[in-house]
Chain A
Amino acid sequence: MVEYRIDRRSGVATYLQIVQQTRQALRLGLLEPGDKLPTAREVVEATAVNPNTVLKAYRELEREGLVEARRGLGTFVRRSLGGAPADTPLHGELLEWATRARAAGLDREDTAALFAAVLEEKFPQPHAAPEQAVPQPQPPPERTLPQPQSVPHGTTTEGDPA
């Protein structure tokens, strides 16, 4: 089960932090297809964020095809990401490279900068246009709970033979 950590000062939107942490868990093989994500209730109880934020994150993950909501059961992982589980040979090679970098006298920051430069070269990020400044106020998102677990308010049980 993944546990989300919300960093309030990171400047990254809360729902995006949940999305990123889920992707990270998929990438590292901490979550595999068939695994169940925590329910919105569990996430908000631990993080004290708004339920809609969690649902928004889950919808985003669903849109990306990473997870699927099964009615009444929960949200499940559909596929893994990146094919870079922790025990891939690439991991070993990267480890070896890092060892060599250290032996060459690079410190942590130098190594990270070097890695980031290579990353930028090989995976150029299509710079996301800054959030457009003139959106129309959208209708607020509906809160659809993935799994109504309890009897809703106002439901009577008068006719119950028990």
Chain B
Amino acid sequence: MTDTAIEAADLTLAYGRRREPALRGCSFRLATGRVCALVGPNGAGKSTLLALAAGLLRPTSGRLAVLGTTPAAARPRVAYVAQDKPLHPGLSVAETLRLGAELNAGSWDAALAAQVAADGELDPGARVRSLSGGQRTRLALALALGKRAELLLLDEPMADLDPLARNRLMGTLMAEAAEHGTTVVMSSHIIGELADACDHLLLVSGGRVRLGGGIDDLVHAHALVTGTGRVADLARHTVVESRATGRGLTALIRTDGPVDPAWDVEEPSLEELLLAHLRAPDAPALITPGTTPTRAVAA
């Protein structure tokens, strides 16, 4: 057993030789038992990162270990739900669940998969092509949960769901994580839907990891300061973003030691933190200790 769910070292993926790489030089570590939000704007590389961890793509360079082994070897212990929730349109709900059982014979939990599907009031005889987006998502998640994986990789899992369904499905996922210690990685470009459920964050933009670590640690490491001073007065800290407000300025800083009491200090909200980093692409990345790769990554 390993305490590391995903460990990436200088991970790079380019879809073609001439195209800009979708991921460039990503290094981070995610411990097991975490519920991680993978956040970033559209096209940031979130889906690519998940597909690499799911063993669907080969990295162009760099290394990636999943559950202490290669993504391919980890396949039976990892469940992945792609963004468009691909399922065979001609199969019925019951047959789709049977397909999950037949293709994951070693670990399949038929009762759980059936329960998740039944909670969404899916008619077992209905064809997949007749399902709504939300029902399809639920069926895809039923398959993922039925696999009883140690690591769940969910690409935009809540995008098609109404608020009630979103809440119930998230509850099911969290119960799964609580009971079995399942590691969950969920991507989204909206942080709001993930903020309560996640304890870990990876902010990706432009193919790079900008922020990585426990959400509390990341928030505590920053401060929102307002005052009449100048940016130069904050030089000992890392200024992520600053804006003029009236005669003074408001800045989001990464604190290094105590802040001059002349400044009014507030703790930023998670959303403020993310937006500031997205608006300031040149701000240095922060990957908190314990989140940086620590040891050699399996090939």
A→B interface (CB under 8 Å)? 6, 8, 14, 39-42, 44-54, 130-131, 133-135, 137-140, 143, 145, 149-150, 152-154
Contact status of A138 and B171, CB under 8 A, knowing A133-B265, A153-B150: no
Complexed CA–CA distance, A51 and B179 (Å): 9
Could you give, for residues 213-224 of chain B, a 1 whenever the CB lies within 8 Å of some chain A CB and a 0 otherwise? 110111011010
Contact status of A133 and B31, CB under 8 A, knowing A145-B181, A153-B150: no
A-B contacts, 26 listed (Cβ < 8 Å)? A14-B196, A40-B178, A44-B171, A47-B196, A48-B168, A49-B197, A50-B35, A50-B196, A51-B177, A54-B178, A130-B265, A133-B258, A133-B259, A135-B221, A137-B213, A137-B217, A137-B218, A137-B221, A138-B216, A140-B31, A140-B34, A140-B199, A140-B290, A145-B181, A149-B179, A150-B180
A45 touches B259 (CB 8 A): no
Could you give, for residues 194-214 of chain B, a 1 whenever the CB lies within 8 Å of some chain A CB and a 0 otherwise? 001111100000000000011
Tell me which residues across on chain B come within 8 A of A133, comparing CB atoms.
223, 255, 258-259, 265, 267
B→A interface (CB under 8 Å)? 1, 31, 33-35, 77, 148, 150, 167-168, 170-175, 177-181, 196-200, 213-214, 216-218, 220-221, 223, 255, 257-259, 265-267, 288-290
Complexed CA–CA distance, A131 and B216 (Å): 12
Tell me which residues across on chain A come within 8 A of B290, comparing CB atoms.
139-140
- 8 more contacts with CB within 8 A, not counting A42-B175, A53-B199, are A44-B174, A44-B175, A45-B175, A48-B168, A48-B170, A48-B197, A49-B196, A140-B214
Main secondary structure of the interface of B (DSSP, over half): mixed
Tell me which residues across on chain A come within 8 A of B181, comparing CB atoms.
143, 145, 152
B198 touches A137 (CB 8 A): no
Name the CB-closest residue of A to B193: A48
- Chain A nearest CB, measured from B225 CB (Å): 8
B258 touches A134 (CB 8 A): yes
Tell me which residues across on chain A come within 8 A of B288, comparing CB atoms.
137
Complexed CA–CA distance, A27 and B220 (Å): 32
Tell me which residues across on chain B come within 8 A of A53, comparing CB atoms.
196, 199
Tell me which residues across on chain B come within 8 A of A14, comparing CB atoms.
196
Complexed CA–CA distance, A150 and B178 (Å): 11
